[in-house]
Amino acid sequence: MGPSELADLAQPGVLTDPTPFADFLTFVLKDGDLGSEAVGDALQMVSNARKSIAQKDSTADMTVTVGFGPASWRRLFPDRAAPPELVAFPERREADRHFPSTPGDLFIMVKSKRMDLNFQASKYLTTGLAPIADLIEDVQGFVYLDDRDMIDFVDGTENPGGTARLNAVIVDVDGPERGGSYLTVQKYMHRSAEWDSLATSDQEDVIGRTKFDDIEIADDKKQPFAHNVRSKVKVDGTEIKMYRQNRPFGNAHERGTMFVGFAKSASTIDTSLQQMIFADADGAYDHILDFTFAVTGANYFVPPQSLLDSFA
């Protein structure tokens, strides 16, 4: 199977570029027996809402991407083997740094070039899923300036593109998970006052890139605690990529970043987070965590499009 055929298996939103607007919806399943008919009707609604709303403006590039957590996979698809790396997000803590593990059975990312279409899709998805799941969080992300996050650095510069993105994101081993992707979602809040009090050069040391022109700092001048050092995953000297579809959110009062990371192996994202939060033998950890903190954390598997189409 060639790259294009593998890409055709995936849910389109996994591979497409981030759009100016994105809604990130987190659901938890209701207690008790959901019933196969109710599950089928709810998942059919996902497909129907996406198609109906997307056709209102074909230039808006709307996609609806659906991921399932480990507990919900077992309940919704009892006859389908769970992806082997789909496990609950583990809580991590060291010193003042904390990655909490929070509820999340279904995660839906609605993205397009129009905020109003995203809102309409999210409204209908919430209604359609209501018989089996409750919406517990809706975060509306948006593009900020030239793809900057709310600490004013360009986000996603090192994202892979083209075939490299496909190779980094889509599961290519034989089995029912082929064409799917592992996903980790965290909501980060920023300590803006503390961050803004730093000199620009100190901020650049924390990130590992220049602030205004987004140039990576040379390796021999980069700090060992820089974000793009601690978050980078290497195996035998070769970097293993993930694809971040992060988006900032917030307002003048409070703000943050949604980390939305896709990879063909959950271990890639897991290793990155471990390196960020836990100090190495020399005491280096990701110093961005001195100025931003996670308030959610959940793992999902985004199955191939064919699984969703089977309910349409």
Residue type at 295 in one-letter notation = V
* Residue 155 annotated as catalytic: yes
Q: Two tokens at 51?
A: 């198609």
**CA separation for the pair 140, 119 (Å, rounded):** 9
Residue type at 45 in one-letter notation = M
Q: Two tokens at 267?
A: 């271990």
Residue 156 CB neighbour total at 10 angstroms: 15
**CA separation for the pair 261, 267 (Å, rounded):** 12
* Cβ neighbours for 243, distance < 8 A, ≥ 6 positions apart: 14, 15, 159, 160, 165, 168, 169, 261, 262, 263
Q: What is the DSSP string of 150-184?
A: TTSSB--TT---HHHHHHHHS--SSSTTTT-EEEE
Find out whether 118 and 24 touch, Cβ atoms under 8 Å. Answer: no
- Of 287, 70, 73, 98, nearest to 186 (Cα)? 98
Bridge partners of 262? 183, 243
Catalytic residue among 61, 105, 147, 155: 155
User: Is residue 131 packed enough to be buried (19+ CB in 10 Å), middle (13-18) or exposed (0-12)?
Assistant: middle
Cα dihedral sign, 247-251-252-255: negative
**Which residues are catalytic, by number?**
155
